[in-house]
A and B are shown apart, each in its own frame.
Chain A
């Protein structure tokens, strides 16, 4: 969708190129992250794509067409452009901000009205409340949403985003990122996204282009950058904790063990205890007949107990969903001293179990199914 060929930028009066002969191919529907430390040329590179910066040499093609062949304002109107929150026009209402490009393109009022409402609904800002607010009447997160929405107003196939979530606190940033990814899943835009935050890059990017001193150092999927850093610079940039960063990439589904051993609430305690001692289990999951998780029992409490397991079952409230990432799973796992976390699907049934051992081995690439004494998972299904 976007092709860069030997793109170079040399600012007048400077001898060192700000962007040095970059070749890049961005596939349709991908989010391509441009990342690097400040001054690496990432923003300059992005700004050349809509000709906010003149290109010194090289070619940029969007959808097969050279951007130099198009009228500059027509080119820019055809590309979504979002910058940090401050890019909203303070003297215009939310409505007028979003309608900027539609106005420039001469849409009629009815079409603009419908589009604005549609977009506001998409980002969960009720149009009746927000349509005529001014930017100063919005929270940071809301303003950011409007900024992104404005870039999408005419449904452009290509969007350029310069640290669109940069000015937001970490918690809200996560929310906005998730929301944005959800929207992107549906819309499948081709997006060039500038950031300096490697976590954001790994989370958002289909591809990451790492730049240093104007040169493209490595271009690949987040996975590739983390597992096969091309050189020392990439390794340092993605960080010593890159193994941990992979936790962000992998889903619970990828690592969980399905059909974990469990018992039912009405099972007799003695039998279950026997089974646990035999298999060196210190805890066991408890479910009902429909496989809904009820909690767990542990060895000490079963010892000497007569009756049903359900009398000694302990609740387990912190669970994960199979589509959550492993980082969430790890943090929940640490809340119990069992060394495991249970994945439940949407109707509350046990989908699988993760233990610390599988987590470690998944990120460390050596995979071992057997856990230790604690956190040990066997996959035999129901015992009796």
Chain B
């Protein structure tokens, strides 16, 4: 109840923080998709590259998020972006790579070789098989990876407040330093709601994009 009152009283600020938060996550995920999906597709052609890329992306996930934000600061301050939105976005992009690349790679790889064979045998080029057969068939698994990346980014994005990127994490950190429980709860609750809503919206988009022929039952 107190949380509700807090949010009503501070609605303008909450919206501002939510907007900042969403914006950082949106840019990060957009970049992550634009890089992760092509990388995931590319490594299906190259076994060795696949091993290396998946290994590196795996290592990235093991770095504690707060440490990764910290590491960003000295590296990016070399080009004048030590704190703020830029290191936050870079960190989130790196985190998002693993679920997106791994799902893209696995989904494309898992397309039944007989179906690829049928496509080639009928005279599709390798690229036509990739984009008319493999990618559409892999789409729902790729989407699952993107959804994981988005939800994760919204969560980890809260920590970005620590390096001055703003967002709903601001309430959490402020609440901790002021031992103001309601503020912490307000921050956590809004982050969770944002994650649920965005995941749901992505689910709707997925339903539109993935062929009915691939749906279960």
Residues of A participating in the B interface, judged by any CB pair closer than 8 Å: 47, 50, 52, 73-78, 81, 83-84, 86-93, 100-101, 104, 134-136, 150-151, 160
Contacts and interface: CB of A to CB of B under 8 A. Distances in A.
B118 interface: yes
Contacts of A52: 117, 120-121
The contact size tier of chain B is 20 to 34
A86 B114 contact: yes
B123 A101 contact: yes
Given A74-B123, A101-B123, A83 B118 contact: yes
Given A83-B117, A87-B115, A104 B213 contact: no
- Secondary structure of the B contact surface, majority rule: helix
Given A83-B114, A87-B118, A73 B213 contact: no
**Of listed B123, B125, B133, B212, residue having the most chain A CB within 10 A:** B123
Contacts of B119: 89, 100
Contacts of B112: 86
B175 interface: no
Given A91-B214, A134-B212, A76 B115 contact: no
Nearest to B120: A52
A112 to B, nearest CB: 15
A86 to B, nearest CB: 5
B122 interface: yes
Contact of B211 (A78, A83, A92, A151): A92
A89 B133 contact: yes
B169 to A, nearest CB: 40
A77 B123 contact: yes
Interface string B72-91: 00000000000000000000
Given A93-B213, A135-B213, A83 B123 contact: no
Contact of A76 (B122, B136, B137): B122
30 contacts: A52-B121, A73-B123, A73-B125, A76-B120, A76-B122, A76-B123, A77-B123, A81-B122, A86-B112, A86-B114, A87-B115, A89-B118, A89-B119, A89-B133, A89-B137, A90-B115, A90-B137, A90-B211, A90-B214, A91-B137, A91-B210, A91-B211, A91-B213, A91-B214, A92-B213, A100-B119, A101-B123, A104-B122, A104-B124, A150-B122
Interface in B161-209: none
Nearest to A150: B122
A76 B133 CA distance: 17
B5 interface: no
Contacts of A50: 121
In this complex, the member of A73, A75, A91 whose beta carbon has the largest number of chain B beta carbons within 10 angstroms is A91
Nearest to B213: A134
B121 A90 contact: no
B68 to A, nearest CB: 37
A356 B122 CA distance: 49
B35 interface: no
Nearest to A153: B122
Contacts of B120: 52, 76
A206 B136 CA distance: 40
A143 B41 CA distance: 29
A42 to B, nearest CB: 16
B213 A136 contact: yes
Contacts of A75: 123
B110 interface: no
Contacts of A135: 213
